[in-house]
Structure 1
Amino acid sequence: MPVITVPESFNEDDLYVDLRWSFGYSLFLKCEGFNFAGSIKLKAATEMVDSAERDGLLRPDSILVESSSGNLGVALSMIAASRGYRFLCVTDSRCNLATRRAIEALGNEVHIITEPDPDDGFLGARIGHVRALCASDDRYVWLNQYSNANNWRAHYHRTGPEIAAAFPNLDVLFIGAGTTGTLMGCARYFRQWRRPVRVIAIDSVGSVTFGGPAGRRMLPGLGTSVRPQLLDESYVDEVIPVAETDAVRACHRLARNGFLFGGSTGTVVSGATGWLSTHDTHHLTAVAIAPDLGERYLDTIYQTNWLQGIYGENVLTEPSQAGGRFLS
């Protein structure tokens, strides 16, 4: 029986869902939402805060500040509450209401950016706000998930080895790309593993991460309007861009089978099953990473009026638009 004293001590690392019965393809979904922060971001948040404490960057009066679309904000808010720091999350209007309330319930503060930067979108505007806060008061400490190597190291040391232990014959790994911390950590780990693993990044249509044209994105989590500093494309074998409507449909298909996941998971599952549908999977072992669960998306992805207002009345019935491309 596990007994803990701080919330970051618990994380379920070894739970997978076999999606064969839901989608018709052998795909094992690694569930990362079973911890007190509710997402995979707990790993990166813990690694970054631990490192900042070791390096002496955090003092008793420090105020952690971070730009986040939601999940990292909750994770940092939880750790801050656990360790006695204050935390300020800078997000934008796409952040789920449940996420904002979770951060505030943990005793911390949320700043919501309502206008995107003309060139770098909401992410650029959020980062600009963080920089201004840090310049105004030296108590602010920005961990900067977009360039902090401890973001990917968390997954190099934990997520990659966890998957390798569970699936020693792994052939293909599908990972969503946001800050690319999970992607880079796992890709680096498997690059030096004992057998080749094809690492496939799943991105959102409208994201500029891999050089695609910028476009409207309403689902928080995956995709960026500014290329992540952590990204090294030499570790990625293929990129699959997924339209948000396809991500939404994948979420609803999972929910009809009793599994309530978030938008990032729907994006990853849509891209992964699209790829599997065009390849011989008879002897293939494939794993995808599900970053979080679906409770924080009940007012958006699982709310009919919101869906139809954003994507139109036929959002759940229109044909899939997913595709993919190879990286040299």
Structure 2
Amino acid sequence: MPVISDPAQFNEEELYVDLRSALGLPLYLKCEGFNFAGSIKMKAATEMVDAAEREGLLRPGSVLVESSSGNLGVALSVIAASRGYRFQCVTDVRCNEASVRLMESLGSRVHIIEEPDTHGGFLGARIAYVRRLCASDDRYVWLNQYTNQGNWKAHYRTTAPAIARRFPRLDVLFVGAGTTGTLMGCARWFWQWRRRVHIVAVDSIGSVTFGGPPGRRMIPGLGTSVPPPLLDMSYIDDVVRVRETDTVRMCRSLAHRGFLFGGSTGTVVSGAGQWLDHHGRRGLTAVAIAPDLGERYLDTVYREDWLTEGAESELAGLMAAPR
């Protein structure tokens, strides 16, 4: 086992779950939640902070600020605490309470946006608030995960080559799309070094990332209400869109087999299953990236009455509707 002094020095890179026995699905799930931030966002956070330090953007007295639906905020909280920075996360009401408490426990401040922007949704409102903060005080340093090249370079450097080493005959890779950092880093690497690998992006219905109509989304993580600047569709072979009701079903199906994953993972696995059902399952080596674990979703996705309460009634109706 490694001996570390910095939480960013540890990340389990080689763990995969074979879903054939759990779900009857010929899919290997790369688990990215085993680090001190609990999600794949630890990689992007580390890459972006390291670059900001090299470029002299972070100085004594600097205050990191970032818009996040939860996981990147936790990752930046871990790094800020370990390196002596202050950090403010700007999130919105969909962020899991567990993520908010984690960030605050690590010494970060959390500002929660209560109302969406008319055109940009919650993401647009979060970004507008970050811009106002930066305009008010030059101590704020916005890494801007939505345009920061380190977001995708982290996965070009680590995630994609790790998958290629383990699966040299990989046929298809499923990657969830949020900021599209993970997606673009992996897609660019495979395009350059293993061009025959089919790249399938998985998105939530209601997201505008791939041009779909905007709609209400309740599960944080994947999907956006503003087109992601990092996305380059020339690297993507297919897109699968997943209903949030199917995300919940998949999360609970995995949990019933002992695997407690987060909402983003449930979406990716559900999308992979849809694609494999449509294109055929035999003879393919398929991998999906699991961005997170499920503890932060215990009060939402995994709570039996979540879909029937208050603001969730609309989603509950969809869950009960025939497919």
TM-score normalised according to structure 1 size:
0.95
| Count of equivalent residues | 319
Provide the C-alpha distance between the structure 2 equivalents of 1:159 and 1:94, rounded to a whole number of angstroms.
Answer: 28
Question: Structure 1 stretches (4+) deviating beyond 4 angstroms?
Answer: 317-320
Residue 197 of structure 1 is matched in structure 2 by: 197
Residue 291 of structure 2 is matched in structure 1 by: 291
Provide the C-alpha distance between the structure 1 equivalents of 2:199 and 2:68, rounded to a whole number of angstroms.
Answer: 25
Higher normalized helix content (fraction of residues): 2
What letter corresponds to residue 15 of structure 2 in structure 1? L
Residue 243 of structure 1 is matched in structure 2 by: 243
Shift of 1:306: 1.5
- 3-state SS of paired residue (1:271): helix
What letter corresponds to residue 142 of structure 2 in structure 1? W
User: In the alignment, is the contact (CA less than 8 A) between 2:69 and 2:92 conserved in 1?
Assistant: yes
What letter corresponds to residue 291 of structure 2 in structure 1? P
What letter corresponds to residue 136 of structure 1 in structure 2? S
Identical-residue share of aligned pairs (%):
71
Residue 312 of structure 1 is matched in structure 2 by: 316
Provide the C-alpha distance between the structure 1 equivalents of 2:209 and 2:275, rounded to a whole number of angstroms.
Answer: 20
Stretch deviating more after TM superposition (296-305 or 175-184)? 296-305
* Mapping for residues 56-95 of structure 1, pairs under 5 Å: 56-95=56-95
TM-score normalised according to structure 2 size:
0.97
Residue 128 of structure 1 is matched in structure 2 by: 128
What letter corresponds to residue 134 of structure 1 in structure 2? C
Provide the C-alpha distance between the structure 1 equivalents of 2:273 and 2:201, rounded to a whole number of angstroms.
Answer: 13
- 3-state SS of paired residue (2:22): helix
User: In the alignment, is the contact (CA less than 8 A) between 1:87 and 1:109 conserved in 2?
Assistant: yes
Provide the C-alpha distance between the structure 2 equivalents of 1:245 and 1:49, rounded to a whole number of angstroms.
Answer: 36
Residue 23 of structure 2 is matched in structure 1 by: 23
Residue 178 of structure 1 is matched in structure 2 by: 178
Residue 103 of structure 1 is matched in structure 2 by: 103
Q: Structure 1: which 5+ runs fail to align?
A: 321-328
Provide the C-alpha distance between the structure 2 equivalents of 1:313 and 1:207, rounded to a whole number of angstroms.
Answer: 19
What letter corresponds to residue 252 of structure 2 in structure 1? H
User: In the alignment, is the contact (CA less than 8 A) between 2:245 and 2:318 conserved in 1?
Assistant: no
Residue 207 of structure 1 is matched in structure 2 by: 207
Shift of 1:23: 1.9
- 3-state SS of paired residue (1:304): coil
Provide the C-alpha distance between the structure 2 equivalents of 1:185 and 1:319, rounded to a whole number of angstroms.
Answer: 37
Residue 323 of structure 1 is matched in structure 2 by: none
Shift of 1:29: 0.3
Residue 145 of structure 1 is matched in structure 2 by: 145
Shift of 1:307: 2.1
Name the Cα RMSD after superposition. 1.1
- 3-state SS of paired residue (1:56): coil
Provide the C-alpha distance between the structure 1 equivalents of 2:222 and 2:294, rounded to a whole number of angstroms.
Answer: 15
- 3-state SS of paired residue (1:112): strand
Q: Structure 2: which 5+ runs fail to align?
A: none
